[in-house]
Amino acid sequence: MKYRPVEGWGRLPEGWSFLEATSVAVDAKDQVWVFNRGAHPVICFDRDGKFLRSWGEGTFRRAHGITPGPDDTLWLTDDLHHTIRQFTTDGGLLLTIGNPDEPSTLQGGKPFNRPTHVALGPKTGDIYVSDGYGNSRVHKYDPKGRHLVSWGAPGTDPGHFNLPHNIATDVDGLVYVADRENHRVQIFDPKGQYVGQWNNLHRPCGLFMDKRRNAFYVGELPSPNLIGDISMTNTVSVGSVTPFMARFLLELAPTILRPHDDDRRARRLRRFLRRAAGAAARHAGRALLSRVLRLRPEASDRAAGALFPHRRWGGVAGVRPRRVRRPAGRGARGDRRNLPGRDLRRCGGAGDRQGRGDG
């Protein structure tokens, strides 16, 4: 089957924009619903791309997933609101699952900590929720929103997840989970028992089951460039940045951030780096600073003071990189083994290697 882009499809009113259209759904009337992070979060088009209506202004924290129901309703996943909500196609709220603005314990297993998507059972109408950014779980609810069962844990074994980013069901009721950072799609029965998996995928983040053709569509992400994703710099909380994630972010930075960049993008990236390193990278954040911004060793102290204005280095009490004085009479071209910048680059410890990023 061959596809081609339809140029100009989806004509918005003048002055409108999508601003990160995170998910799309098609209902039984062939209307196309776009859930996005702009000023008009829920936008409806007809099949030819003609704008019909919008709603949801001021209702959502961060759009993430949309799923059409068989009863002419829409299920919307708001990961920063930590809820799944069911709406009519006119924007009327019918059901809320989860505690608004109250995330569960990070990786604690209870719903929800930044859920990602919803799938519906074709026979029972049961609701399956992938709880992926702050958890590694799938939760199952009955059509009235009563919790039935949950499964999954952090890891790489069958039945474990590393950022379950999307979820879908087939005509037989099997549940498919896009296990993004494990590069696979896992398959479960309706009770959460592991059935199998599809391998050799690259960061699968989108799933769609075409029940008429009995075919699956899998959306894959390119190689990670988390620093380059501006949306992430707005949404990653200080408490969720692990040492591993912080180090990963800091080491990726040189690929997209040059030392003299001072536009809006660069300023936002530097702010994000400051939060990431200050939260979790400990002294390794300061150690990697020279490499990240490609500073001369003698400029590292000045830059560290600007990016990490903490009394406690890296936000951790009692942790301060060892400093070695420059030998007398040595200039910038002298014995570089004793320059502060060289010493700082060696001070990362075992703490950097703990933890995992939330993707």
CATH code of the domain containing 34: 2.120.10.30
Q: Are residues 206 and 293 in the same domain?
A: no
Q: Are residues 233 and 333 in the same domain?
A: yes
The reply to whether 275 falls in a domain is yes
What are φ and ψ of residue 97, in 5° steps? Answer: -115, 125
Give the pLDDT of residue 19: 84
The reply to whether 286 falls in a domain is yes
Give the pLDDT of residue 53: 96
Give the pLDDT of residue 95: 97
Q: Are residues 73 and 201 in the same domain?
A: yes
Contact call for residues 9 and 3 (beta carbons, < 8 A): no
Query: What torsion do the CA atoms of 46, 50, 52, 54 make, to the nearest 10 degrees?
Result: 100
Last residue of a domain, one of 220, 238, 265: 220
The reply to whether 358 falls in a domain is no
Q: Are residues 168 and 57 in the same domain?
A: yes
How far from the centroid of its chain's Cα atoms is residue 34's Cα?
A: 19
Q: Are residues 166 and 312 in the same domain?
A: no
**Whole-number Å distance between alpha carbons of 35 and 53:** 13
Q: Are residues 142 and 212 in the same domain?
A: yes
**Whole-number Å distance between alpha carbons of 18 and 160:** 34
With a CB cutoff of 8 Å and minimum separation 6, the contacts of 197 are: 158, 179, 184, 185, 186, 187
Cα–Cα distances in Å, from 297 out to 241, 257, 316, 329? 27, 18, 23, 17
Tokens 């320059």 belong to which residue? 339
With a CB cutoff of 8 Å and minimum separation 6, the contacts of 186 are: 158, 159, 161, 176, 177, 179, 194, 196, 197
**Whole-number Å distance between alpha carbons of 131 and 305:** 38
The reply to whether 312 falls in a domain is yes
Q: Are residues 210 and 232 in the same domain?
A: no
Tokens 């536009």 belong to which residue? 263
In tens digits, the chain (359 residues) has pLDDT values of 688 889 889 999 999 988 889 999 999 999 999 999 999 999 999 999 999 999 999 999 999 999 999 899 999 999 999 999 999 999 999 999 999 999 999 999 999 999 999 999 999 999 999 999 999 999 999 999 999 999 999 999 999 999 999 999 999 999 999 999 999 999 999 999 999 999 989 899 999 999 888 889 999 987 654 444 433 444 444 444 444 455 555 544 544 444 445 566 666 666 666 665 555 444 444 444 444 444 444 444 444 444 443 333 333 333 344 444 444 554 444 444 443 333 333 333 333 333 333 44
**Whole-number Å distance between alpha carbons of 33 and 30:** 10
Give the pLDDT of residue 295: 40
Give the pLDDT of residue 137: 97
Cα–Cα nearest to 313, from 343, 282, 351, 349: 282
Last residue of a domain, one of 173, 189, 220: 220
**Whole-number Å distance between alpha carbons of 313 and 138:** 38
The reply to whether 9 falls in a domain is no
Tally of domains within the chain: 2
Give the pLDDT of residue 2: 80
Last residue of a domain, one of 220, 242, 267: 220
**Whole-number Å distance between alpha carbons of 112 and 102:** 8
Greatest alpha-carbon pair distance for the chain in Å reads 81
| 357: region left, alpha or beta (phi > 0 left; psi from -120 to 50 alpha) | beta
The reply to whether 12 falls in a domain is no
Give the pLDDT of residue 322: 43
Contact call for residues 51 and 12 (beta carbons, < 8 A): yes
Give the pLDDT of residue 264: 67
Contact call for residues 196 and 187 (beta carbons, < 8 A): yes
Q: Are residues 270 and 318 in the same domain?
A: yes
Cα four-point dihedral sign 108, 242, 202, 68: positive
Cα–Cα distances in Å, from 310 out to 79, 82, 250, 282, 290? 30, 31, 18, 11, 18
The reply to whether 315 falls in a domain is yes
Q: Count helices and strands (H / E) in the chain.
A: 7, 18
The reply to whether 206 falls in a domain is yes
Q: Are residues 315 and 204 in the same domain?
A: no
Q: Are residues 211 and 237 in the same domain?
A: no
How many other C-beta atoms are found inside a 10 Å radius of the C-beta of residue 313?
A: 19
Q: Are residues 253 and 345 in the same domain?
A: yes
Give the pLDDT of residue 273: 63
The pair of three-digit structure tokens given for residue 295, joined into one six-digit string = 């500073």
Range of the domain at 135: 21-220
Q: Are residues 92 and 113 in the same domain?
A: yes
Contact call for residues 159 and 152 (beta carbons, < 8 A): yes
What are φ and ψ of residue 304, in 5° steps? Answer: -60, -40
